[in-house]
Amino acid sequence: MNERCHDPHDVRSCPAGEAIEILQEKWVLHIVHSLLGGAKGFNELGREVGGCNPTTLTQRLCRLETLGLVYKTVHSVTPPRCSYDLTDAGLALESVIDSIRGWALTHLSEVEERTEPATT
What pTM was estimated for this model as a whole? Answer: 0.81
Q: Is residue 10 in a domain?
A: no
**Using alpha carbons only, how large is the chain's radius of gyration in Å?**
18
pLDDT for res 120? 54
Q: Is residue 1 in a domain?
A: no
pLDDT for res 2? 44
pLDDT for res 110? 83
Q: Is residue 89 in a domain?
A: yes
pLDDT for res 53? 94
Is the distance from CB of 45 to CB of 84 less than 8 angstroms? Answer: yes
Q: Is residue 8 in a domain?
A: no
Residue numbers of the chain with a pLDDT score lower than 50: 1-2
Residue type, 37: G
Q: What is the pLDDT of residues 39-74, one digit of tens each?
A: 999 999 999 998 899 999 999 999 999 999 999 999
pLDDT for res 97? 95
Other CB atoms within a 10 A radius of the CB of residue 75 amount to 11
CATH code of the domain covering residue 82: 1.10.10.10
Q: Is residue 2 in a domain?
A: no
Q: Is residue 21 in a domain?
A: no
Q: How many domains does the chain have?
A: 1
Q: Is residue 36 in a domain?
A: yes
Instruction: Give the bridge partners for 40, in sequence order.
Output: 84
Identify the domain containing residue 69 by its residue range. Answer: 26-115
